[in-house]
Amino acid sequence: MADNKRGKSKMGKEPVFIVRPVHRNFGLDYLHITLLVLVVILVALAFALSTFKSARVVTSCGSGNSSICNATNATHTSAQALAAAETALTSFSNINTSLSLLPYYSLVNQSKVSYLSNQKEWLVTIPYMNPLANDVVSNLSLVLYDSNLSPAASYLQSITPTTATNNSVVGLGTVKLAGEASCKTSSNKIPIYIVTDPYAPGMLYTLHAAVSTNRKYSGSVNTSYYLIFSGYSQNFYNGYGVADTQQMGRYISCASHQKNFPQFVSNLSIAYTGAPLSNLTLYQVSLGSSLNITQLNVCMQNVTTSLNYQSEFANLYHVVSTPEIIVNCKYTTLPQTLNYAINYSLAHPNS
């Protein structure tokens, strides 16, 4: 009997519903109230963020050099911001990494300029081709203070240029040297100066590139080869002596004045092992290249004066690393982008 009562008590027990008065918290328990408040906060935050983002860029000035517009309450124009970005871009050439290539592979004519009113800053987005990734186009963003157009930040990598220059990127593969003017002569040929240490990394590649370019633009360019003896040469002085170390530079300089210089460069590439070559080897390279030996000997007797002038030229243009290529006395470029710089110079004879 007792067991039946306990069984009935367990099976017959009905669920208990707790009913709160409707007038308290509008019929909601505290858990639902908390969730509702959280949803309201999230909605408000999302609205605030969307409003903030839409207010940041008040003026978008389009692409390229034609993107000239005035932003409300801005001290400078978009054209001035773009010019400042082109100048700031050349500072990357002082970074001792692959980023030093950046000024020469930037598509500044496709840049986009916007004004950030909240920060009083200009945002310049510059596309560039990555030569290490099959010329895939990516973007570099530079933020400039509107007050003086100095760089505020760059968004590409963690390394930031520490040395500023007054040069500016004016086209693909073309950096304009500040304060320099055209030295084009009445012959209407664009002068190109190849400045290199004979033992600089990439020296032979640069000579081959210059020879190829000179052949392609034979009626439009006049190429000169200037040999200087920087730290690369000086590293060999103790082991080989100054005279023997510099001998290859003398041969290159004199051979460059002869029509068979392209063959000389090819033969030198075969003989060169990364260290100074003997005078006998250099002479044999000259013979194998069908150089005019009489003309070569006359040049070798007077080459010191020519090399001194070439060194002064390098100092005048503040050459700090070689090889360096100077086009029309006012542009600098890389061996890989020499054709771009020549095309730019031909298209802008008066700029």
**Per-residue pLDDT at 155:** 67
Low-confidence ranges of the chain (pLDDT < 70): 1-72, 96-97, 155-162, 186-187, 351
Residue count of the chain: 351
pLDDT of residue 31: 55
Token pair 């009489």 in the structure block, residue: 294
Task: Give, in order, the Cα–Cα distances in Å from 297 to each of 4, 56, 261, 293.
Answer: 129, 69, 15, 6
Compute the distance between CA of residue 162 and CA of residue 13 in angstroms, rounded to an integer: 81
Q: Which of 345, 318, 340 is nearest to 105 (CA)?
A: 340
pTM as predicted: 0.66
Is domain 190-347 in CATH 3.40.30.10, yes or no? yes
DSSP string, 219-260: TTEEEEEEE---HHHHTTHHHH-HHHHHHHHHHHHHHTTSTT
**Residue indicated by tokens 């505290």:** 30
**The pLDDT of residue 152:** 82
Chain centre to alpha carbon of residue 13? 81
| pLDDT for position 53 | 38
| pLDDT tens digits along 49-63 | 444 433 334 455 655
Confidence (pLDDT) at 63: 52
Which residue in 244, 249, 202 sits closest to 227, CA to CA? 249
Give the model confidence (pLDDT) of 237-282 as tens digits: 999 999 999 999 999 999 999 999 999 999 999 999 999 999 999 9
- Sorted by where each begins, the domain ranges of the chain are 59-172, 190-347
